[in-house]
Amino acid sequence: MDPAHTTSQQARRESPRKRADARRNHETALMNEAKAAGRVRPDASPLDLRVVLCGMCLQLIRLEERDPALWRRYGELTLRALRP
């Protein structure tokens, strides 16, 4: 097998992992900054934000909700859950 082809395949497999790691690092840094500024509860984690926010979005999508006011309302409720 061509070594260049093998290297290319490895890069494609590693790339999503590297991107996911970079995203998690960025999320953690943002959450730590928000905690330090007193904008987010001290016990909140990036996973908490992802689960609560994505859960809200998933439900509104499944309900085929298109009203921007309702999206804003649930977005605000979601963010309030993480405030100190």
1-22 pLDDT per residue, tens: 555 555 566 666 678 888 888 8
pLDDT-derived band of residue 81, with 50, 70 and 90 as boundaries? very high
pLDDT, one tens digit per residue, over 23-71 is 899 999 999 999 999 999 999 999 999 999 999 999 999 999 999 999 9
Instruction: Please count the structural domains in the chain.
Output: 1
The token pair at 82 is 């993480």
Nearest 5°: CA angle at 50, between 84 and 76?
Answer: 50
- What's the pLDDT score for residue 16? 86
Boundaries of domain holding 32: 3-82
Q: At what angle are helices 46-62 and 68-82 packed, to 10 degrees?
A: 160
- What's the pLDDT score for residue 65? 95
CB burial of 29-68 (b: ≥16 within 10 Å; e: otherwise) equals eebeebbeeeebeeebebeebeebbeebeeebeeeeeeee
This prediction has a pTM of 0.68
